[in-house]
Amino acid sequence: MTKKAELPPYICPFRGDLIAGVDEVGRGPLAGDVVAAAVILDPEKPISGLADSKKLSEKKRDYLFDEIREHALSFAVARATVEEIDQLNILHASLLAMHRAVEALQVQPEFVLVDGNRKPQWHYPCDTVVKGDDRVAAIAAASILAKVTRDREMVVLDQQYPGYGLAGHKGYPTKAHMAALETLGPSPVHRKSFAPVRRQLELI
């Protein structure tokens, strides 16, 4: 089996310190908001262990979540709601959430690095970085803030809408989640524009 080639290290074209990394979490789930975060790291206070949030254990993410909030120059978390996802589509809702996260930073960045290959429409000089949460520390930090925030919110939603297992699968279309959808029908936090949810609504 051929090993997948790793992407080369990312070299930022901007040389200043006020560089924000931005990432979103929650494009794939059938339920819940899409959450984005933006982070400007402090070069004088490096944070060890930053990586793609999906590759970290929950314990490690929780630890880094607190470290980022304590040591970053600035950070912000924002979202696009389920209603906005259904109205705009998930891509544009994700870009909106990222836009809101950067705008909410208390320290305005001089340059923004966006995870992926699409960027919001804004006035900031920026660059997109494919797999940026693996290649850029500030993007990795943003992915951790966004994921921990969203995961914790899904635990709360699980208590409000029991039976779907939201605390476990975080809204992703697992077999258990699909079975619960068929049995219970969609909840108010399910994304009506997503095909599995839409099909259940058509049966009501």
Q: Is 17 annotated as a binding residue?
A: no
pLDDT value, residue 1: 46
CA atoms within 13 A on the CB side of 174: 12
pTM (2 d.p.): 0.94
24 assigned ligand-binding residue: yes
Residue 115 annotated in ligand binding: yes
Write down the residue that tokens 């009501």 correspond to: 204
Q: What is the pLDDT of residue 145?
A: 98
**Which spans in the chain are helix H?**
58-71, 82-88, 90-103, 132-135, 137-160, 166-169, 175-184, 195-203
* Spatial distance between the Cα atoms of 72 and 173, rounded to a whole number of angstroms: 34
| Predicted pLDDT at 4 | 58
Report the DSSP beta bridge partners of residue 79. Answer: 35
pLDDT value, residue 23 = 98
Task: Decide: helix, strand or coil at residue 11.
Answer: coil
- List average pLDDT for each run of 10 residues in the chain, which is 204 residues long: 68 91 98 98 96 95 98 98 98 98 97 96 95 96 98 98 98 97 96 96 85
- DSSP conformational letter for 12: -
User: How confident is the model at residue 174, as a pLDDT?
Assistant: 97
How far apart are the two ends of the chain, measured CA to CA in Å? 47
Residue 181 has φ and ψ, to the nearest 5°, of: -60, -40
Amino acid identity at 165? G
CATH, domain 19-155, list 3.40.395.10, 3.30.420.10, 3.40.50.1370, 3.30.565.10 = 3.30.420.10
pLDDT of residue 5: 63
Contact 178, 186 (CB under 8 A): no
State how far the Cα of 124 lies from the Cα of 138, in Å rounded to an integer: 16
